Amino acid sequence: MLAARTDGEAGAEDAAGPEAGAAAAASAGASASHPAAADVRAAIADAHRREWAFVLAATARVARDIDIAEECVQDAYVAALDAWQRQGVPRNPGAWLTTTARRRALDMLRRDRTLRAKLPLLIEPAPVGPGQDEAGEADEGDGVIPDDRLRLVFTCCHPALAREAQVALTLRLVCGLTTTEIAQAFLVPEPTMAARVTRAKKKISAARIAYRVPGEAELPDRLDAVLTVVHLLYTTGHTAPAGDGLVRADLVERAIDLVRTLCTLMPDEREVRGLLALLLLTDARRATRTADDGRLLLLEEQDRSQWDKAAIEEGAALVTEALRGGRPGRFALQAAIAAVHAEAPSYPETDWPQLLQLYGALLRAWPSPVVALNRAVVLAMVHGPAAGLAEIADLERDGRLAGYRYLPAAKADLLRRIGRPADAAVAYRSALELADNAAERAFLSARIAEVHGRAG
Amino acid sequence: MAEYLILIYENEDGYVKGGPEVWQSAGAAHGRFAEQVGEKGGKMLGGNALQPTGTATSIRSDVVTDGPFAETKEALGGYYLIEARDLDHALEIAKLCPAPFGGVEVRPIMDMSGG
């Protein structure tokens, strides 16, 4: 737990460097007479990022309603601004915030007995252990507050909610992002996102989606849904769907923080480790994915000496653990593939036969046309572009990847390598029509110009 | 406990084409389902099969028309009212509800007691 937090902190400082510095300078200037104000604000921002899910999850147990819990937690953060300036930042900010939010929730329920009667008890009685108290009143002070973050995550990712609602709720309730921030991340108008979040919360309460971790029988499917949501957060950040920058660092880091937390809370789940490994190994290449001018760099063009060695090392160790003990899942296999790339000394020296084997296993574990496309690309590296093109032709007939920009892009690349520049140009143009990201569009346009030169 | 309505949506052709045998086996399956609700810890509060949509009459702003409210391939053919602990419990029960020519929809009943 401590180790995970320290790592998370280091990563956060890296990415938020200039912004955080500017914010601190601004607040210091604004409150020169109150030297502690900037520190308090920084402590609150830190507690927001690290403790939000814990505080909300623990408060939901008392409030019995996610909406009320959220309101109480927001109030607690506001109260902290004043209290911490007067009394100093507490030793354990998370516990202070939790106690304050839970007290507020209890006050609200006491004031409104009818509300309490009306709210269904969505919280399953937890096995009462040492330091745990169902009423949540005795654990103030140094008592142990049960960690309910898993309940919160599984509730947000319940299969009765649409995938986009699961993603929005996870960002809002587990990561503590505002509706404005979530709307910006997914390029959706704010009222649309607000309506999506409200509707999902209403369904949780009206349909009585229970606030609990699923039992053993349902766990594999339900966990897969959670990991899919986290992976979606990461991939949305990894290649922003539109806009000028290729990567949205905030989403990428939230996703990694979240899967780290899941790893701590579910240490025996191999797929959770697999996902953390996958994200670390992919993210290790982040700095080298675009050139200084924003141009997209392919794996073969990237400066491998600039890859994050610590992240690769941590990811590779996690892969080994995730593959051990039975048939590996899809995240562990994807991580193993990422590890082969990350550990290759150069692009030509990549262990393509091993990759082909791993893609075969992945396709069996997860029969997705996207996996089949990636396997076709690796097949071309092992057995030549013609073999890859044959597989891609099958996928085109299959039709499920219609509108997927990487299909014509992969096809174009193989056609270029096999010496058919005119056909390659047609395929690159199809890919360009489907791409919205500026860096990807620039890359495809450059390739079209290149093959035109060769065709002419 | 809360109340949920299980709405059975099916393609009516299935029963027309299947004849009495399909009808009989569906009857037996529904009989078994009624028992399973209790075995799963829920409670059966009621339920009925509906006459086919050919018998439906719709009213919109006092205008009476022949036919169901919405023409769809899979039409509402019956329902159960059950009591369950929460949505997961209701879904666990609803998964057992026979609907060979379609599927079921689970809807929480709105609590109008105002308490």
Q: Express each pLDDT in A242-278 by its tens digit.
A: 565 666 777 888 899 999 999 999 999 999 999 999 9
Strand partners for A123: A211
Architecture of domain A368-456: Alpha Horseshoe (1.25)
Nearest to A66 by CA among A254, A200, A257: A200
Residues of A in contact with B110 (CB under 8 A): 206
- Put simply, the answer to whether B91 touches A114 (Cβ < 8 Å) is no
Residue indicated by tokens 């029969």: A367
Nearest chain A Cα distance for residue B20, angstroms: 36
Mean pLDDT of A69-92: 94
pLDDT at A30: 44
CB of B14 within 8 A of CB of B77? no
Most confident option among A133-142, A208-217, A285-294, B80-89: B80-89
Mean pLDDT of A40-58: 92
Strand partners for B3: B83
What does each C-alpha distance from B23 to A241, B20, B28, B96, B104 come to in angstroms? 51, 5, 9, 18, 18
Architecture of domain A35-119: Orthogonal Bundle (1.10)
In a domain, B50, yes or no: yes
CB of A80 within 8 A of CB of A96? yes
User: Token pair for residue A97?
Assistant: 């915030």
Task: Name the average pLDDT for chain A.
Answer: 84
Low-confidence ranges of chain B (pLDDT < 70): 114-115
d(CA A325, CA A4): 24
In a domain, B38, yes or no: yes
- Put simply, the answer to whether B88 touches A214 (Cβ < 8 Å) is yes
> How many domains are contained in chain B?
1
CB of A361 within 8 A of CB of A328? yes
In a domain, B47, yes or no: yes
CB of A436 within 8 A of CB of A241? yes
Domain with CATH 1.25.40.10 in chain A: 368-456
pLDDT at A54: 94
- Put simply, the answer to whether B87 touches A207 (Cβ < 8 Å) is yes
User: Token pair for residue A282?
Assistant: 């992919």
A vs B, Cβ pairs < 8 A, gives 28
d(CA A210, CA A105): 19
What does each C-alpha distance from A456 to A161, A424, A453 come to in angstroms? 54, 13, 5
Nearest CA in chain B to A203: B108
In a domain, B115, yes or no: no
pLDDT at A453: 81
Q: Is A114 on the interface with B (CB under 8 A)?
A: yes
Give start and end residues of each alpha helix (H) in A241-384: 249-265, 270-283, 309-323, 330-343, 352-365, 369-383
User: Token pair for residue A237?
Assistant: 């950040």
Of the candidates A114, A120, A210, the beta carbon closest to that of B88 is on: A210
- Put simply, the answer to whether A160 touches B91 (Cβ < 8 Å) is yes
pLDDT at A235: 87
Q: Is B115 on the interface with A (CB under 8 A)?
A: yes
- Put simply, the answer to whether A210 touches B111 (Cβ < 8 Å) is no
Least confident of A8-22, A27-41, A337-351: A8-22
Residue A109 banded pLDDT, cuts 50, 70, 90: confident
d(CA A275, CA A282): 11
In a domain, B113, yes or no: no
**pLDDT of A112 higher than 70:** yes
Residue A133 banded pLDDT, cuts 50, 70, 90: very low
In a domain, B93, yes or no: yes
What does each C-alpha distance from B70 to A280, B60, B67 come to in angstroms? 51, 12, 8
Domain with CATH 1.10.1740 in chain A: 35-119
Residues of B in contact with A209 (CB under 8 A): 86-88
CB of A241 within 8 A of CB of A272? no
Please tell me what DSSP assigns to residue A128. P
- Put simply, the answer to whether A117 touches B115 (Cβ < 8 Å) is yes
**pLDDT of A117 higher than 50:** yes
CATH number at residue B27: 3.30.70.1060
Instruction: For A154-181, write each residue's pLDDT tens digit.
Output: 999 999 999 999 999 999 999 988 898 8
Residues of B in contact with A117 (CB under 8 A): 115
Instruction: For A321-330, write each residue's pLDDT tens digit.
Output: 999 988 999 9
Question: Which of the pair, A146 or A366, is modelled with greater confidence?
Answer: A366
In a domain, B65, yes or no: yes
A157, A208, A221: best to mutate for the B interface, most B CBs within 10 A: A208
**pLDDT of A21 higher than 60:** no
CB of A68 within 8 A of CB of A106? no
**pLDDT of A436 higher than 50:** yes
Residue A120 banded pLDDT, cuts 50, 70, 90: low
Nearest CA in chain A to B92: A218
**pLDDT of A9 higher than 80:** no
Burial B73-109 (b: 16+ CB within 10 A, else e): eebbbbbbebbbbbbbbbbbbbebbbbebbebebebe
d(CA B12, CA B53): 8
- Counting every residue written for chain A, the total comes to 456
pLDDT at B72: 87
Amino acid at A46: D
Reduced to 3 states (helix: H, G, I; strand: E, B; else coil), residue A297 is: coil
Domain that holds residue B93: 2-108
CB of A149 within 8 A of CB of A265? yes
User: Token pair for residue A254?
Assistant: 């939230």
In a domain, B49, yes or no: yes
Question: Which of the pair, A340 or B70, is modelled with greater confidence?
Answer: A340
Nearest to A378 by CA among A391, A365, A363, A388: A388
Instruction: State which H helix or E strand residue A88 sits in.
Output: none
Least confident of A109-118, A119-128, B106-115: A119-128
Nearest to A185 by CA among A251, A278, A134: A251
Least confident of A95-99, A184-188, A189-193, A371-375: A184-188
Q: Is A210 on the interface with B (CB under 8 A)?
A: yes
pLDDT at A127: 44
- Put simply, the answer to whether A208 touches B115 (Cβ < 8 Å) is no
Q: Is A209 on the interface with B (CB under 8 A)?
A: yes
Give percent above pLDDT 70 in chain A.
83
User: Token pair for residue B45?
Assistant: 């509060």
CB of A153 within 8 A of CB of A169? no
Q: Is A208 on the interface with B (CB under 8 A)?
A: yes
Nearest chain B Cα distance for residue A160, angstroms: 9
B82, B88, B92: best to mutate for the A interface, most A CBs within 10 A: B88
Mean pLDDT of A7-34: 38
CB of A389 within 8 A of CB of A418? yes
Q: A111-116 long-range contacts, Cβ below 8 Å, gap at least 24?
A: A114/B115, A116/A64
CB of A374 within 8 A of CB of A340? no
pLDDT at B10: 96
Question: Which of the pair, A419 or A125, is modelled with greater confidence?
Answer: A419
d(CA A347, CA A233): 28
Backbone angles phi, psi at B57, to 5 degrees: -130, 135
